[in-house]
Chains A and B, each alone.
Chain A
Amino acid sequence: DTAVSQTPKYLVTQMGNDKSIKCEQNLGHDTMYWYKQDSKKFLKIMFSYNNKELIINETVPNRFSPKSPDKAHLNLHINSLELGDSAVYFCASSQLDGNTIYFGEGSWLTVV
């Protein structure tokens, strides 16, 4: 039973398209995150939600819009995809002050 699951795992799309990545956690956590890992393997937070409320928005272009329909889900929608959006996107979850943060398997996005 996967604790944090993301779909799709691989996504190849053309510039200008709109795409979504879905994330679900079954750990009962109250906080969920989106991280971006670039081609140099650097990981940076994009968004964080606590109990469906946005608590972190790290200067991400407004083409990226997270949506949290409930505590267990945090989806990422990207409009007008650009070449520079190619990266691995990781969803994660934790309790707000918890000492473990679990990551999903990552979604490999390639924009051509």
Chain B
Amino acid sequence: AQKITQTQPGMFVQEKEAVTLDCTYDTSDPSYGLFWYKQPSSGEMIFLIYQGSYDQQNATEGRYSLNFQKARKSANLVISASQLGDSAMYFCAMREVQGAQKLVFGQGTRLTINP
């Protein structure tokens, strides 16, 4: 069964520093996708970045990059030059290509950016 683990319940970072949010996953499906979402205090779920299991390069979207280490089954989100507006909950999620196509989420990490 697919499983996502985020081991950092909360993180505190100084503004302008880079931050890495950890995510490990478990699946027996060779084909899967990994997602990161941001949930600010207003509550909406904002899609940040996607990594396919067969993608050769790490995904990047602006200040967001995904450090994908397939052998270690990790998909950490890196935010460069953090900003106060980055303070939010961050969720890692996975979807297996075979089977039910459902998105399974980790527990989330609450990121706080300090001025």
Contact = CB atoms under 8 A, between A and B. Distances in A.
B75 to A, nearest CB: 14
Interface in A67-108: 88, 90, 92, 96-97, 99-106, 108
A99 B45 contact: no
Contacts, number: 57
Contacts of A42: 105, 107-108
A103 to B, nearest CB: 4
State the majority secondary structure of interface residues on B: strand
Interface string B91-115: 1010101001111110110000000
Given A56-B102, A96-B101, A41 B45 contact: no
B43 interface: yes
A1 interface: no
B97 A103 contact: no
A48 B108 contact: no
A90 B101 CA distance: 17
A44 interface: yes
A55 B101 CA distance: 9
Interface of A: 31, 33, 35, 41-45, 48, 50, 55-56, 58, 88, 90, 92, 96-97, 99-106, 108
Interface of B: 33, 35, 37, 39, 43-47, 50, 52, 89, 91, 93, 95, 97, 100-105, 107-108
B103 A106 contact: no
28 contacts: A33-B103, A35-B103, A41-B39, A41-B107, A42-B108, A45-B103, A45-B104, A48-B101, A50-B101, A55-B101, A56-B100, A58-B102, A92-B45, A96-B101, A99-B33, A99-B50, A100-B47, A100-B50, A101-B35, A101-B47, A101-B95, A102-B47, A103-B47, A104-B44, A105-B43, A105-B44, A106-B44, A106-B45
